[in-house]
Amino acid sequence: MENDFYFDTSIWIDIYEKRGYNGEVAKKLMEKVIKEDSVIVYSDLVVKEFKRIGYSEHEINVILSIAKPGHIRRIHLTKGQLIEAKQLFKQRDVPLGDIFHAILARDHEAQLVSRDRDFEKIKDITEAKLPEDLI
């Protein structure tokens, strides 16, 4: 779906923690998503990354509720995607989690939104864009 977005974990955190310019721009993109009736897809990996950083279940639910119901959808990694990601991980100097995010965004036809420069190394999978490039 061309109106779907996949927010990297840091984009969610920018909004939740109101991290200066990054938080303001990410919030504006979230408002645009809602206004244009678009959807943000997120994965189990995003939830795992929140937990690894130290967020509680309650905080994770609050973060994800920033996207209004009807504008958010959970997606899951398939066995085939896992195999592909592991192969790419062996070939490239990119964290496995970032490869997962890129594959999920590509396969769900969602625009990957991130500030992480590692995505430059795998832009042949999917091209990550900055929030300000999309508002």
- Domains of the chain by range and CATH? 4-128 (3.40.50.1010)
What is the rounded CA–CA span in Å between residue 23 and residue 29? 10
What pLDDT does 24 receive? 97
Using the structure block, give the residue that is written with the tokens 């490239």.
92
Euclidean distance between the first and the last CA atom of the chain, given in angstroms as a whole number = 18
Give Dmax over CA atoms of the chain in angstroms: 41
What pLDDT does 3 receive? 82
What pLDDT does 114 receive? 96
Using the structure block, give the residue that is written with the tokens 């959807």.
39
| Phi, psi angle pair for 35, to nearest 5° | -60, -40
Cβ–Cβ contacts within 10 Å for residue 88, how many? Answer: 20
| Phi, psi angle pair for 97, to nearest 5° | -60, -40
User: Can you read off the two tokens belonging to residue 22?
Assistant: 């990054």
Under 8 Å between Cβ of 68 and 42: no
User: Residues, the chain, total?
Assistant: 135
What pLDDT does 1 receive? 44
What is the rounded CA–CA span in Å between residue 30 and residue 134? 10
What pLDDT does 2 receive? 56
What is the rounded CA–CA span in Å between residue 119 and residue 74? 21
- Over the chain (135 residues), the average pLDDT of each successive run of 10 is 85 96 96 92 95 96 92 95 94 92 96 94 94 95
